[in-house]
Amino acid sequence: MPNIVPIVDETEGAFKRAHAELLSLEGQSDLLDVARPPGCLVSFVGVQKLLGSPFRIIDSATADIDTRWLQERVEEVTQPALRTFAYLGLDSVDALGRSLVTNPDLYITDNIAKVESSQVQSLLTSYCFATKLNHLARALPPPIVAPSLKKLESMQVEVYSSILNNGFDDTHRARAILPRRFAGVAPGVSPIAPAAFLAAAIHFEKLCV
């Protein structure tokens, strides 16, 4: 077996320390004259900063722990995405946002620039805020990301309801996140998450093969 050093430390210099540890292990292997494949570093942190999505192998022996870790990382990415809606200046959206974020005190609406135009609010929601978690649907299994995707979708739907003077009933809310050709107005991600994940998996497997 090769020497494998996992990186779980997020502090500065963690990669260099892990690399030094690997070199030390490789040196000991040379002294013992053990023939083995080259060692490698396996990072469990920082990947989301590079690829936009957390990464962790779901092992059959530790599936519950691995799944919970991924869900927690997804929720960490979701929190700032929810808080961006504060810039729209819509009261009902802000009320919903505070109920969805982990720490309502961080959902700040005072002393920030806010959008006044309904058209701009709509465009920002459709093309900026609504797409912030799309990459998660492609990179992670739907059961892991669906709860967070639905939170973002509920914020999107509330934006359009607020723009229309809170005129959405249950039917409007259900239809709002349908594809636009089916009269949807807010690009929903959770309904298509399984297809997005499957398409991404096919590309990844093709690359590996």
User: Are both 81 and 156 inside the same structural domain?
Assistant: yes
pLDDT: which is higher, 41 or 141: 141
Range of the domain at 20: 4-45
User: Are both 97 and 170 inside the same structural domain?
Assistant: yes
Question: Is residue 52 assigned to a domain?
Answer: no
User: Are both 9 and 98 inside the same structural domain?
Assistant: no
* Contact assessment for residue 162 and residue 93, using Cβ atoms and an 8 Å cutoff: yes
Would the pLDDT of 80 be above 90?
Answer: yes
Identify the CA nearest to 23 among candidates 40, 45, 46. 40
Would the pLDDT of 5 be above 80?
Answer: yes
User: Are both 79 and 39 inside the same structural domain?
Assistant: no
User: Are both 166 and 97 inside the same structural domain?
Assistant: yes
What pLDDT, in 10s, does the model give residues 126-151? 888 988 898 898 889 999 999 999 99
Give pTM, 2 decimals.
Answer: 0.71
Q: Does residue 152 sit in helix, strand or coil?
A: helix
User: Are both 120 and 179 inside the same structural domain?
Assistant: yes
Question: Is residue 54 assigned to a domain?
Answer: no
- pLDDT value of residue 47: 53
Question: Is residue 183 assigned to a domain?
Answer: yes
Would the pLDDT of 33 be above 70?
Answer: no
- pLDDT value of residue 3: 80
User: Are both 156 and 77 inside the same structural domain?
Assistant: yes
Q: Which residues of 115-143 are buried (b: 16+ CB within 10 A; e: fewer)?
A: beeeeebbebbbeebbebbbbbbbbbebe
The arithmetic mean of pLDDT across residues 56-83, rounded, is 91
Question: Is residue 140 assigned to a domain?
Answer: yes
Question: Is residue 65 assigned to a domain?
Answer: no
> How many domains in the chain?
2
pLDDT: which is higher, 51 or 71: 71
Would the pLDDT of 64 be above 70?
Answer: yes
User: Are both 37 and 90 inside the same structural domain?
Assistant: no
Average pLDDT of the chain, as a whole number: 85
In degrees, rounded to 5, the angle at the alpha carbon of residue 76 between the alpha carbons of residues 72 and 81 is: 140
Question: Is residue 51 assigned to a domain?
Answer: no
- How would you classify the pairing of strands 4-7 and 40-43? parallel
Identify the CA nearest to 46 among candidates 80, 11, 4, 18. 11
Tell me which of 19-23, 39-43, 83-87, 137-141 is least confident: 39-43
Question: Is residue 50 assigned to a domain?
Answer: no
User: Are both 35 and 77 inside the same structural domain?
Assistant: no
Tell me which of 4-18, 45-59, 92-106, 160-174 is least confident: 45-59
What pLDDT, in 10s, does the model give residues 157-171? 999 999 988 888 888
Percentage above 70 pLDDT, the chain = 89
* Contact assessment for residue 128 and residue 81, using Cβ atoms and an 8 Å cutoff: no
Question: Is residue 146 assigned to a domain?
Answer: yes
pLDDT: which is higher, 173 or 67: 67
